C-alpha cells in the first residue's frame, strides 16, 4: 500500500486529480470506478479544471459509480446520479452512454445488481477505482460485517451512516434506509485502487486500515489484500490515526 500525505483539501484534490490524469494518459481508453461523498468533490473540480485547460479528455473513458440510494429518482438532488451529473459529468466530455450508476429506482433491485455487475464485466472491468471511506470503515456502502466475497448487492444502511449523510438531507427521516453498492469482491477486482481519506473524523478508520487486523467488521481492511492500493491522506486524518498500543504521536 502506497501512502501519500498531503496538506488540506486542496492538496488532496490536486494529488488525486493528477494521479487520475496520469493513469488516463497511459491508456487510449480506461474504465474508472467513481465514488461520491464529500471527499472526492475537490478532485472532481480539479479534473474539470484540467479538462478545461486541455490537459485531459474523458471521451474514451467509461465510468461506474460504486453506489446509489434505493428509492431516489435520478433527478432527486440527493441521488448520486444527480451528484455525479452536477459535480462532474456535465462539465466534461464523457459521452452520456459511457457513465453508469446503479439504478436505485429499478423495479427489480436484485436484477439491477446482476445487470450492473454484468455491464462492468462486459466493459472490461475497472482499471482504476476511486474510493472514500466511512467513519465506520465502510467502502462504497459496504457496512461493517459485509462479506469480503460480496458482489453488487442491496444493503441496509447503518444508523451511523444515515446520521453522517443526514447533512445533505432536510431531515434524517429523509435519508434512505437502503442502497445498492458494488460489493467488496467487486471493488477488489479493480486493477488499481485510489483511496482518499480526509479529516480527523476518519482517523480511527484510517488507523484500522493501516494497522488493524484484516476483518469484515472493518470493510476497508479488505484493501490490504489488494496488490495495488494508493492512499492519499490529509495531515488531519493522518495525525488522528493512532497506532494501536501506542500513544498518539500527535497527542490526539
Active site residues: 67, 136, 138, 143
CA terminus-to-terminus distance, the chain: 24
Number of neighbouring beta carbons within 10 Å of residue 141: 27
Shortest Cβ 39–ligand F6P spacing (Å):
3
Q: Is 63 in the site for ligand F6P (CB under 6 A)?
A: no
Q: Is 142 in the site for ligand F6P (CB under 6 A)?
A: no
Q: Is 38 in the site for ligand F6P (CB under 6 A)?
A: yes
Closer of 162 and 251 to ligand F6P (Cβ): 162
Shortest Cβ 165–ligand F6P spacing (Å):
5
Q: Is 99 in the site for ligand F6P (CB under 6 A)?
A: no
Q: Which residues contact 126 (CB under 8 A, 6 or more apart)?
A: 31, 32, 33, 64, 120, 189, 190, 191
Scanning 36-44, 91-99, 114-122, 219-227 for contacts with ligand F6P by CB under 6 A, the matching segment is 36-44
Q: Is 34 in the site for ligand F6P (CB under 6 A)?
A: no
Q: Is 42 in the site for ligand F6P (CB under 6 A)?
A: no
Which one, of 30, 207, 53, 31, lies nearest residue 136 by Cα?
207
Which residue, chain included where needed, has cell 473524523? 201
Q: Taking a C-beta distance cutoff of 8 angstroms, is the pair 57, 154 a contact? A: no
Q: Is 161 in the site for ligand F6P (CB under 6 A)?
A: yes
DSSP sequence for 127-171: SEEEE---TTS-BTTB-TT--TT--SEEEEPPHHHHHHHGGGSSS
The dihedral sign for the CA sequence 180, 181, 186, 189: positive
Shortest Cβ 148–ligand F6P spacing (Å):
18
Q: Is 219 in the site for ligand F6P (CB under 6 A)?
A: no
Q: Is 43 in the site for ligand F6P (CB under 6 A)?
A: no
Residues of this chain that bind ligand F6P (CB under 6 A): 35-39, 67, 132-134, 141, 161, 165
Amino acid at each position: 500500500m502506497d501512502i501519500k500525505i498531503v496538506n488540506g483539501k486542496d492538496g488532496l484534490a490536486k494529488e488525486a486529480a493528477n494521479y487520475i490524469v496520469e493513469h488516463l494518459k497511459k491508456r487510449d481508453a480506461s474504465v474508472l470506478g467513481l465514488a461520491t461523498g464529500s471527499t472526492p468533490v475537490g478532485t472532481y473540480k480539479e479534473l474539470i479544471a484540467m479538462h478545461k485547460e486541455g490537459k485531459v479528455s474523458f471521451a474514451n473513458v467509461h465510468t461506474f459509480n460504486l453506489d446509489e440510494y434505493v428509492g431516489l429518482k435520478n433527478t432527486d438532488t440527493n441521488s448520486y446520479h444527480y451528484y455525479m451529473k452536477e459535480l462532474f459529468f456535465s462539465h466534461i466530455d464523457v459521452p452520456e452512454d459511457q457513465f453508469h450508476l446503479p439504478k436505485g429506482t429499478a423495479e427489480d433491485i436484485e436484477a439491477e445488481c446482476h445487470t450492473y455487475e454484468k455491464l462492468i464485466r462486459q466493459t472490461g472491468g475497472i482499471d482504476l477505482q476511486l474510493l472514500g471511506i466511512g467513519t465506520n470503515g465502510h467502502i462504497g456502502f459496504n457496512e461493517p460485517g459485509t462479506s469480503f466475497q460480496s458482489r453488487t448487492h442491496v444493503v441496509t444502511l447503518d444508523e451511523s451512516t444515515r446520521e453522517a449523510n443526514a447533512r445533505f438531507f432536510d431531515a434524517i427521516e429523509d435519508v434512505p434506509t437502503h442502497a445498492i453498492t458494488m460489493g467488496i469482491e467487486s471493488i477488489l477486482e479493480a486493477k488499481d485502487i485510489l483511496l482518499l481519506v480526509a479529516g480527523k473524523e476518519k482517523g480511527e478508520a484510517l488507523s484500522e486500515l493501516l494497522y488493524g487486523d484484516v476483518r469484515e467488521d472493518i470493510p476497508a481492511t479488505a484493501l490490504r489484500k489488494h496488490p495495488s492500493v494508493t492512499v492519499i491522506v490529509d495531515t488531519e486524518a493522518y495525525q488522528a490515526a493512532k497506532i494501536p498500543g501506542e500513544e498518539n504521536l500527535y497527542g490526539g
